[in-house]
Chains A and B, each alone.
Chain A
């Protein structure tokens, strides 16, 4: 247990060395396991691993990560597994019957005025997103870019439950409106 506690402390004291160690020791193991189990291309898996490291750092910075149960490798692996799950869902998305009218083809039916309003809203949102702090930025990014469920976000950000994440997300979205 002492060595695991040291691992987190050591990382916090020298994050560059800690990160280099993660990439040197954990990434190859992760790639071996993930290629076999997920059949995803290596480039995508490397991006997923990098995102998992970033999430670990966000958790460390925010104080959500103060104690490791296993090793830092295992912790990052756990995050990666959730990211892989969401990635496969996202990339398996097909335009099957029953897809909702989410605007994929709706764009072409918009009038010029509606398109301008949509563009202005986008610019306003972009400015608002820039002012978001943590954990809002992470929760919203993980929801809408990585396509993760409330439970998956709770698991990787260390919240007690999916409901906690949903309540936080609602407040974050209200800040953007």
Chain B
């Protein structure tokens, strides 16, 4: 393979291709079956490596031990998490008495553990497209602006639904649509849209989709599916440890089998 093509592949996996480089690589891939095969092989490698850890490369026992955060840091985080959880529970107990929260423990667990998923789309979180990048279409930007106003998921779900109809293969859009539906308690529709994202290993949102899919199943009363999905999420080697507390809480609220 030529150096130039190798460099383009490197930029592809780094998500650092300019629009011109995207076109160039597309042209090369279309014209060269060997390059297509090579790219598929590297993609397979990338998927395989998702479950590995940099830490596994440390041979020295003492250095490997030192690579984990110290127990005091973990204990402090656990303390803060449990303190925050205890404070949340205390507030909710009081609110439940005044505002009559749903009696269903599963619904309670969902209410307690659903937090706004941040908008990570490039055109929002980085203050607009970077130089050389293509700007997102206006209707897409508006839908995500509605999403950012996390007080009205119903409106953002409607807008994102139209976006997903226009771009049915864009898993990122589908993820946010599914999430907005979940927050709007349209559980069956949320399931239908989060499922394909959760099932696709190579997307950035796979792990988050799997977690929220589990919650959607719980909300829809499909408890067996909820249990399976959330247990798979816990067991999978992903980096979304922040959702583990919520996962355990919802699993604990599900009716016993």
Q: Which residues of A contact B (CB under 8 A)?
A: 15-16, 18-20, 23-24, 27, 39, 41, 43-44, 46-47, 50-51, 53-55, 57-58, 60-61, 86, 88-105, 107, 118, 121-122, 125-126, 129, 133-134, 137-138, 140-145, 147-150, 152, 166, 170, 173, 176-177
Contact = CB atoms under 8 A, between A and B. Distances in A.
Contacts of A166: 3, 6-7, 10
A92 B120 contact: yes
Contact of B66 (A18, A44, A137): A18
A107 B67 contact: no
A149 B14 contact: yes
B70 A102 contact: no
A94 B26 CA distance: 17
B67 A19 contact: yes
Contacts of A57: 58, 63-64, 66-67
A61 B171 contact: no
B46 to A, nearest CB: 4
A27 to B, nearest CB: 7
Contact of A141 (B44, B54, B200): B54
Contacts of B50: 145
B54 A138 contact: yes
B169 A15 contact: no
A47 B56 CA distance: 16
B70 A20 contact: yes
The 8 closest A-B pairs by CB, nearest first: A15-B66, A92-B122, A95-B170, A19-B66, A144-B46, A20-B70, A137-B57, A43-B242
Interface residues of B, number: 69
Given A61-B60, A89-B14, A91-B204, A145 B46 contact: yes
A89 B15 contact: yes
B101 interface: no
Contacts of A122: 44, 47-48
B32 to A, nearest CB: 13
A76 to B, nearest CB: 12
A57 B173 CA distance: 39
B146 interface: no
24 contacts: A20-B70, A41-B118, A41-B242, A43-B242, A44-B239, A46-B69, A54-B54, A54-B58, A58-B57, A58-B58, A61-B60, A89-B15, A94-B123, A94-B136, A98-B23, A101-B29, A103-B43, A104-B202, A122-B47, A125-B44, A126-B48, A129-B49, A137-B52, A143-B14
A41 B59 CA distance: 31
A19 B10 contact: no
Interface string B220-255: 000000000000000000010110000000000000
Given A88-B126, A147-B13, 9 more contacts: A53-B67, A57-B58, A58-B54, A61-B59, A89-B15, A95-B170, A103-B202, A104-B202, A141-B57
Nearest to A163: B3
B77 to A, nearest CB: 8
A51 B19 CA distance: 30
Given A98-B19, A166-B6, A125 B45 contact: yes
Contact of A61 (B15, B39, B58): B58
B42 interface: yes
Contact of A15 (B46, B52, B62, B170): B62
Nearest to A140: B49
B121 interface: yes
B49 A96 contact: no
A23 B69 CA distance: 7
> Which of A86, A99, A177 gathers most chain B CB within 10 Å?
A99
A43 B3 CA distance: 37
B38 to A, nearest CB: 10
Nearest to B50: A145
B169 A125 contact: no
